Structure 1
Amino acid sequence: MKTKLNELIEFPCPFTYKVMGIAQPELVDRVVDVVQRYAPGNYSPQVKPSHKGNYYSVSVTINATHIEQVETLYEELGKIDIVCIVL
């Protein structure tokens, strides 16, 4: 039996995205710019470099208001050219 994400989450709620991308200074700003378009707010993302320093992990938590917002942000964050994966 498949369960849909919107059946597991009660909105509004905090929702954290973890974005992993190439370690470039603009990665954090580009992630925040996309998040601001769909969930305006003051964000202080957590940034962690990979063991060898080639990649950054950027975690940002939004106040999600509906499932479409969550899904759209997954798609839009994944379109950033220096992003490898969005969790």
Structure 2
Amino acid sequence: MIDPKESLIEYPCDFPLKVFGEAQQGFAQAVAAVVQAHAPDFDSATIEMRSSSNARYISLTCVIRATSREQLDNLYRDLTSHPMVKMVL
């Protein structure tokens, strides 16, 4: 059995985050600000955006240089608690 405190990820590594929310003004900027608070070297110009078929929702893919499980846990916690964010994968 794997210890829940152990990580299957070797750090540091490039780690993609997919963030979903309603298409609205300032969504990408808000997500970028949260990501940069946890990964200061993140370049917001690298964000990939994709709209849903009806353009109601948008997904953002942000690839960060992850340095620890704690960093990822804190980043997920802040993103999922943001009022503009519907889901994070």
Secondary structure of the corresponding residue to residue 34 of structure 1? helix
Structure 2 Cα separation of the partners of residues 15 and 5 of structure 1: 19
Q: TM-score, normalised by structure 1?
A: 0.91
Aligned position for 1:84: 86
How far is 1:73 from its partner? Answer: 0.6
Secondary structure of the corresponding residue to residue 7 of structure 2? helix
Q: Which amino acid is the alignment partner of residue 55 of structure 1?
A: Y
Alignment of 1:32-71 (within 5 A): 32-41=32-41, 42-43=43-44, 44-71=46-73
Structure 1 Cα separation of the partners of residues 74 and 30 of structure 2: 16
Structure 1 Cα separation of the partners of residues 15 and 5 of structure 2: 12
How far is 1:79 from its partner? Answer: 1.4
Structure 2 Cα separation of the partners of residues 62 and 5 of structure 1: 21
Secondary structure of the corresponding residue to residue 32 of structure 2? helix
Structure 1 Cα separation of the partners of residues 6 and 23 of structure 2: 33
Aligned position for 1:15: 15
How far is 1:2 from its partner? Answer: 5.2
Q: How many residue pairs were aligned? A: 87
Structure 1 Cα separation of the partners of residues 70 and 6 of structure 2: 9
Residue ranges of structure 2 left out of the alignment (5+ in a row): none
State, as a whole percentage, how many aligned pairs show the same letter: 37
1:4-61 CA distances to partner (integer Å, 9 max, x unpaired)? 4843100000011100001012110000000111101223200100010000000100
Structure 2 Cα separation of the partners of residues 54 and 69 of structure 1: 31
Q: TM-score, normalised by structure 2?
A: 0.89
